[in-house]
Structure formats: structure tokens, C-alpha cells
Chain A
Amino acid sequence: GENVEQHPSTLSVQEGDSAVIKCTYSDSASNYFPWYKQELGKRPQLIIDIRSNVGEKKDQRIAVTLNKTAKHFSLHITETQPEDSAVYFCAASENREKLTFGTGTRLTIIP
């Protein structure tokens, strides 16, 4: 089955700086890669996703890049703000039934 590794497990950045979280996956058949944000005590929510026919996708301050050859994808957050503090999970899937999640990155934005 699919195995998703996520790094780093914790990340602290100064407000206004950029944050990058990286994930690698094992199953070359995976073709869908979402990112979920989970604020403290809240439910996970989708913030951005990418499919294998696209190398990069942006949504305001958030971007995701995908390298299918190397089997890794990354989340980039620019101009970080205090409300970006949360746990971020990457995931990978070959089909809609089974998303495999990474172990999460706790991002802390330092004012």
C-alpha cells in the first residue's frame, strides 16, 4: 500500500517569512495529493490539492508543487501570518476511496 512521509514534524517561522513542508510517497500510481490544515481542537479542512497532471498550483499565499519522478510534493506558505499556525497534513491517493495521510507538521508562526 501507499506510504507517505512528511517532514519536518515541527516548524517555527517568523511572521512574514515563508514556510515549506515536504512529503514523499511510495506508490507511483498515486495521482491525487491534498493538503489539510487542522487548527487546535478543530477538524481538518482542505486548503489545497493537486493532481498528477499538474506540476504546481497556487491559491493566494499557498502553493503546492509536485515532482512525480521523485515522488515528492511540497506545501509552500508565503508571507506567513499568526492564523497560519496549525498542524498541516499531506496525503496521497490512487483512488478516491483511500487517502493515506502523512504524520503532520506542527507549524508555529512567531510574531
Chain B
Amino acid sequence: NAGVTQTPKFRILKIGQSMTLQCAQDMNHNYMYWYRQDPGMGLKLIYYSVGAGITDKGEVPNGYNVSRSTTEDFPLRLELAAPSQTSVYFCASSYPSGGYEKLFFGSGTQLSVL
């Protein structure tokens, strides 16, 4: 199993540009998440999904959109990039069974908006 795969690893955007961060998992996890990590800060939840076709906002959703058409994929869309979106983005997934299971993180995408 590859686990959680994120692409790209690095990206520089100009203000106003758009891009999609890709995330895929091959562990048949129902739950998937997008977090952002600013320097010296903890992880902030952007969006999450409890299954295909279901998404919900996290703590910091403004400026982002997501979709979940399949169990495996959970892309994050930035429509009009702003400097405030410069951050490291982590995708994560967790087990489908009941209770509280650990998050499996991708390797991250470092995004700079200039």
C-alpha cells in the first residue's frame, strides 16, 4: 500500500491563480481530511469528508473547495490564491470502523503564494 499520496510536493503560485492539490489513499478509508500548517502553529482543519459524496467545513474553509467523488480521492481546490494561503498542506485519512482511529498523513504540499 502507498498509504496517502499527495501531489505536488512544492508549488509557487501568483496571487489570483488557481490550483488543485491532489490527495489519494489506497487503504479504503472512509474519512479524509485537509489540514494546513502555518509556521510555528498547529494543524488547522480546512475540510473533511466522511465518505464519497459527503464533505463538510472545518475550522478554516474560506478560500478553498473540495470534492469527494470516490472513496480514494479528495482534491483541494484554491480558486483565487492569496498570500495568506502560503502554508504547508497535509491530507490525511482514517479507518472506517467505529471509535477514534489514528490519522494517516500524506507527505505534505508546501505552497507559496507570491
Please give the residue numbers on chain A whose beta carbons come within 8 Å of chain B beta carbons, in ascending order: 1, 4, 6, 9, 32, 34, 36, 42-46, 49, 51, 89, 93, 96-104
Which residues does chain B contribute within 8 Å of A101, judged by CB atoms?
A: 42-44
Interface centre among A43, A101, A104 (most CB of B within 10 A): A43
Beyond A96-B99, A97-B56, whether A103 also contacts B41 by CB under 8 A is yes
Give chain A residues whose Cβ lies under 8 Å from the Cβ of B31.
Answer: 96-97
Q: Which are the 5 A-B pairs with shortest beta-carbon distances?
A: A101-B42, A46-B102, A43-B105, A32-B100, A101-B43
When distances are taken between beta carbons in the complex, the residues of chain A under 8 Å from B41 are 103-104
Q: In the assembled complex, which residues on chain A have CB atoms less than 8 Å from the CB atom of B99?
A: 96
Q: What are 5 A-B contacts with C-beta separation under 8 Å?
A: A44-B90, A46-B102, A89-B43, A97-B31, A99-B103
Interface presence of B94 (CB below 8 A)? yes
Query: Contacting A46 at CB < 8 Å: which of B50, B90, B103, B107?
Result: B103
Asked whether any CB of chain A lies closer than 8 Å to the CB of B34, the reply is no
Question: Which range contains the number of B residues in contact with the other chain?
Answer: 20 to 34
Which residues does chain A contribute within 8 Å of B40, judged by CB atoms?
9, 103-104
A30–chain B nearest beta-carbon distance, Å = 11
Further 9 A-B residue pairs, CB within 8 A, beyond A1-B59, A4-B42, A97-B50: A6-B42, A32-B100, A34-B102, A43-B90, A49-B102, A96-B31, A96-B100, A97-B48, A101-B43
Compute how far the CA of A49 lies from the CA of B100 in the bound complex, rounded to whole angstroms: 10
Question: CB-CB contacts of B27-58 with A at 8 A, as 1s and 0s?
Answer: 00001000000001111110010100000101
A98 partner residues in chain B, CB cutoff 8 A: 45, 48, 58-59
